[in-house]
Amino acid sequence: METVKMNRGHIFFFIIFAAATLSTGSSFAEESQASKVFERLKGLEGTWTGFARQTSGEPHHDGADEEMSVLHEFRVSAAGSVVMEIMGPDSPYEMINMYHLDGQDLVLTHYCAAGNQPTMKLNPAAGSTDNLVFEFTGGTNFDPDVDHHIHSSRIIFSGEGTLESYWTSYREGRQEAEMQFSLKRSTDQ
């Protein structure tokens, strides 16, 4: 009789353990997806060159429809806990993007030359490990229903040593324009 009680106890423990493991399985999968993408972003460390052009919306200034040469630098910092992308280092339009894990989420904060800091989160369901989709979650120093700000971003790994990124701006609560950056890893590293 004692053996039966012990076996039932083991069975009960196993059922509870299995249920707990299955109920948290999806969050583990999402966390590993964000971690996998973050590791891929770390692999971008270095200097990247290419061009930028506005792909939609009204030009912000004369010549906005023309391609312009760009330089981006990716750095891994803070003991490997953040990837910093510097767009146009040492230029008047320098901007910084910071990528980091927040629990099971991969978060992007865009430090804009406009003086605001929109925050976005990776949406794994909207993309893939080759097509990263970051969606707006909030930010500081702007009203998203009124002010100009970057509202979403997409990074596409288009081949070995090449990538494209798209940055969509909003104003008055709707899409205003999109900028495309086509980059290649610099061989002068």
Q: What is the pLDDT along the chain (189 residues), one digit of tens a residue?
A: 454 454 555 544 444 444 443 444 444 444 478 999 999 999 999 999 999 999 877 655 555 557 899 999 999 999 999 999 999 999 999 999 999 999 999 999 999 999 999 999 999 999 998 999 999 999 999 999 999 999 999 999 998 899 999 999 999 999 999 999 999 999 875
Domain range annotation of the chain: 34-185
Ramachandran region, residue 63 (left: φ > 0; alpha: ψ -120 to 50; beta: rest): left
What is the CATH number assigned to the segment(s) 34-185? Answer: 2.40.128.20
Q: What are phi and psi of 27, to 5 degrees?
A: -70, -35
Q: Which tokens hold the place of 147? A: 């002010």
DSSP conformation class of 128 = B
pTM above 0.85, yes or no: no
